[in-house]
Copies of this chain bind each other. A is one copy, B any other.
Amino acid sequence: MNALESVDQYLTEHAERNVEQLKDFLRIASVSADSAFAAEMTKAAEFVRAQMVDAGLNVEVVETAGFPIVYGSRIVSEDVPTVLVYGHYDVQPPDPLEDWITPAFDPHERDGNLYARGATDNKGQLYTHLKSIEAWTKTQDAPPVNVKVIIEGEEEVGSNNLDHFLETRKEDLAADVAVVSDTSQYGPGMPAITYGLRGIMACEVTLRGPKQDLHSGVFGGAIANPVNALAKMVGSLVDENGRVTIPGFYDGVIPLTDGERKQFANLPFDEASFLEKIGVKETFGEEGYTTLERRWARPTCEINGFYGGYQGEGPKTIIPSFATAKITCRLVPDQNPQSVAAALKSHLQSLCPAGVELEFTDQHGGNGMVVDMTGPFAAAASRAIDDAFGTPPVLIREGGSIPVVASFREILGIDTLLLGWGQNTDNLHSPNEHFNLQDFHRGTRASAHLLHYLAEK
């Protein structure tokens, strides 16, 4: 029996015990948003610490300005890659309590699922990695790669102390790739690797005209109306074909490959039910791209808020003194948020009519990311998932950003493999959160196999 076979056997033999341990973890009401649960947060951190010790890691509980970060590591050799695993032990508040069929912090199994707050987000998913490392340690004395595991307690409240930890412990945390299981499969029986996320550029634009609102009868026609002007300026940023008109906006955009487009096209996607769910009759977007392509892999320019002039009932005949728009652009690799902000600013300036003054406030930005799926890490993940789920993962991207992924890239300089074992129907953040137990076991096995294949490189 080779190493992998021993690990598999160990996981099979301990499957039931793993579920019971996970239930213990889920009984801890580690709600980070509510200070009434502070003692439970300490208990959860301690639980994680003990589990990491069991898994053979050297563990420290790192105090922060908020809840502690539990950090464990095991360095086995300079010749093998280092994997950084991330998860979080805090959970969403369980409200509304009356909607839970069984109590949020009293885990129950039904129909092959384990029901409890945190079952999938993220206790159940992070636990797969702790159990896979444990299996390696118990059967082979050590995992086949160096492992570093960060389990924080503030993901649900903004991860405010994580970046500080990453920055101050940058050398300790050096790794080749990060692994995070905090996303979902594409659908039941369709495990996925999320290999791309969009970045963002956020800004606010204000146009100032007359020093106060003016009578539109007395002054109308003689001076620029800041609301008309701003509407014209920001309204022109996306054309009738859904293309962003900012000069240079698409510079650096890495086009979708034929392979990616084929991959997306093969994914089951029911546009009618997608639209019905959000109450929209027709799609609108960049010409020449499908809905999934537009959402996952093409940049956007959205006005998130617009304010100007009279907001009450009925008409009011004024030329407003100013108007403001909040704008975010979703970006894709290799667009640069700073360059996009600069291009937008200078484009708006070029559109600004006489007699109004432009104020541009650059708010924040983050790069989009795509992990090279032809690289060794992705290949290892793909093989591991195929082993555990009986089918290779579909490759998907996501339209949003995941802050921890951006932090790993910016602070530690590494890519992240987003390996979701759950489903997006698992009621994350809602009553009756659950996690399919078969997927829990498959995820644990996939994690174990991933460590094996990474070591093969």
Contact = CB atoms under 8 A, between A and B. Distances in A.
Interface string A266-308: 0000000001001111111110000100110011111111111
A304 B309 contact: yes
Interface of A: 198, 200, 202-204, 209-212, 214-225, 227-238, 240, 242, 275, 278-286, 291, 294-295, 298-311, 314-320, 323, 325-326, 328, 330, 353-357, 363-364, 398-401
B279 A216 contact: no
B221 A303 contact: no
Contacts of A328: 216, 315, 317
Contacts of A236: 232, 235
Interface of A is mostly: mixed
Nearest to A209: B280
B326 A315 contact: yes
Given A222-B284, A283-B354, A310-B326, 20 more contacts: A202-B317, A216-B300, A218-B400, A220-B295, A220-B399, A221-B294, A221-B295, A221-B330, A225-B303, A228-B235, A228-B238, A228-B303, A231-B232, A231-B234, A231-B303, A232-B236, A234-B235, A281-B357, A304-B317, A306-B307
Nearest to A364: B315
8 contacts: A209-B280, A219-B399, A222-B295, A231-B235, A303-B308, A304-B315, A307-B311, A315-B364
A280 B363 contact: no
Contacts of A320: 303-305
A213 to B, nearest CB: 9
B310 A316 contact: no
Contacts of A314: 363
